[in-house]
Chains A and B, each alone.
Chain A
Amino acid sequence: MYWRAISEDQPGPKWAGLFREYWPDYQRWWLKEGDSMRASYMESVRMLKRHMPEMLPLYDQLCELAGGGDQASRFLSFYCPPPYLSGCSQALWPGKAPVLVRNYDYNPNAFDSLILHTNWQGRQVMGTSDGLWGLVDGMNDAGLAISLTFGGRRIVGEGFGVPLILRYVLQTCTTAAEAEEVLKRVPTHMSYNVTVVDRTRKYFTAMMAPDRPTIITHAAVATNHQENVEWISHARFTATVERERYLLQRLTLHRDTEDKFIAAFLKPPLYSTAFDHGFGTLYTAVYRPRKKQMEIRWPGTTWPLSMDAFEEGTRQVQIPGAA
Chain B
Amino acid sequence: MATTVLKNISEIRRFFHRNEDPVYFISATNFNLLGIDEWVKNFKYICYIDCYDGKHPNVFCPSEQPHAEFQSIEDINNYLLQHKEVIDFIKRRGGKPKFVFLMFDEETERLSKEFGADVWFPKAKLRQSMDNKIETVRIGNKAGVPSVPNVLAEVKSYEDLRATCEQGGIGHDLVLQSAFGDSGHTTFFIKSEADFRRHEHEIIGEGEIKIMKRIDCRGSAIEACATSQGTIVGPLMTELVGFKELTPYRGGWCGNEILSTAFPPKVRNQARDLTFKFGEQLRKEGYRGYFELDFLIDKKTGDLWLGELNPRITGASSMTNHAAFAHADAPLFLFHLLEFSKKKFNLDVDELNNRWADPEMIDGWSQMVIKHTDDSVDICTSAPETGIYKMLEDGRVVFDRFDYHRRAVESENEAFFLRILGPGDYRYEGADIGILVTRGRSMTKAFQLNDRARKWIHGIKQSVSGRPLPVAEASPAFADPAFKIM
Contacts and interface: CB of A to CB of B under 8 A. Distances in A.
Given A232-B68, A236-B68, A242-B69, A319 B477 contact: no
A306 to B, nearest CB: 18
Given A94-B194, A255-B198, 5 more contacts: A94-B197, A218-B204, A229-B68, A245-B428, A300-B476
Given A21-B484, A269-B469, A273-B470, A301 B67 contact: no
A316 B476 contact: yes
B471 A315 contact: no
Interface string B23-41: 0000000000000000000
A235 B70 CA distance: 10
Contacts of A281: 472
Contact of A268 (B188, B248, B470): B470
A273 B198 CA distance: 29
A241 B69 contact: yes
A13 interface: no
Interface in A176-206: none
Interface string B205-217: 1100000000000
A232 B68 CA distance: 5
B426 A228 contact: no
A316 B478 contact: yes
A92 to B, nearest CB: 8
B2 interface: no
Contacts of B471: 267-268, 271, 273, 299
A259 to B, nearest CB: 15
Interface of A: 2, 4, 21-22, 25, 94-96, 109-110, 113, 216-221, 228-229, 232-233, 235-236, 239-242, 245-246, 249, 251-255, 267-269, 271, 273, 280-281, 298-301, 303, 314-321, 323
Contacts of A21: 484
27 contacts: A2-B479, A2-B485, A4-B481, A94-B194, A94-B197, A94-B198, A109-B486, A217-B205, A218-B203, A232-B66, A232-B68, A233-B66, A236-B67, A240-B68, A240-B69, A241-B70, A241-B71, A245-B428, A251-B198, A252-B199, A255-B198, A273-B470, A299-B471, A300-B473, A314-B478, A317-B477, A319-B472
Nearest to A251: B198
Contacts of A315: 476-479
B200 to A, nearest CB: 7
Nearest to A253: B248
B429 A253 contact: yes
Interface of B: 66-71, 188, 194, 197-206, 248-250, 375, 377, 426, 428-430, 468-479, 481, 484-486
B426 A269 contact: yes
Nearest to B157: A202
Contact of A299 (B249, B429, B468, B474): B474
B481 A314 contact: yes
A25 B484 CA distance: 12
Contacts of B67: 232, 236
B194 A96 contact: yes
Contacts of A221: 201
B472 A301 contact: no
Contacts of A95: 194, 197
Nearest to A114: B484
Most chain A CB atoms below 10 A, which of B470, B474, B481: B474
Contact of A300 (B205, B475, B486): B475
Contact of B475 (A220, A242, A254, A317): A317
Contacts of A280: 472
Nearest to A22: B486
Nearest to A323: B485
A298 B66 contact: no
A197 to B, nearest CB: 12
B474 A301 contact: yes
A233 B67 CA distance: 7
Given A96-B194, A218-B201, A251-B198, A318 B474 contact: yes
A134 B10 CA distance: 75
B200 A321 contact: no
7 closest A-B pairs by beta carbon, nearest first, are: A268-B469, A298-B474, A316-B479, A241-B69, A235-B68, A220-B201, A316-B477
B469 A253 contact: no
Contacts of B69: 229, 235-236, 239-242, 245
A318 B475 CA distance: 5
Contacts of B66: 232-233, 236
B156 to A, nearest CB: 10
B201 A314 contact: no
Given A25-B486, A232-B67, A251 B201 contact: yes
A320 B470 CA distance: 11
B474 A319 contact: yes
Contacts of A267: 377, 471
Contacts of A303: 476
Contacts of A319: 472, 474
A269 B377 contact: yes
A185 B383 CA distance: 52
B241 to A, nearest CB: 15
Contacts of A254: 375
B392 to A, nearest CB: 34
A269 B66 CA distance: 19
A235 B75 CA distance: 14
Contacts of A236: 66-69
Most chain A CB atoms below 10 A, which of B68, B199, B248, B375: B68
B427 to A, nearest CB: 11
A279 B199 CA distance: 30
A273 B468 CA distance: 13
A317 B476 contact: yes
Nearest to A231: B68
A242 B431 CA distance: 11
A218 B205 contact: yes
B198 A2 contact: no
Nearest to A269: B377
Nearest to A4: B481
Contacts of A217: 205
Contacts of B477: 315-318
A83 B484 CA distance: 24
Contacts of A314: 478-479, 481
A304 B333 CA distance: 61
A229 B71 contact: yes
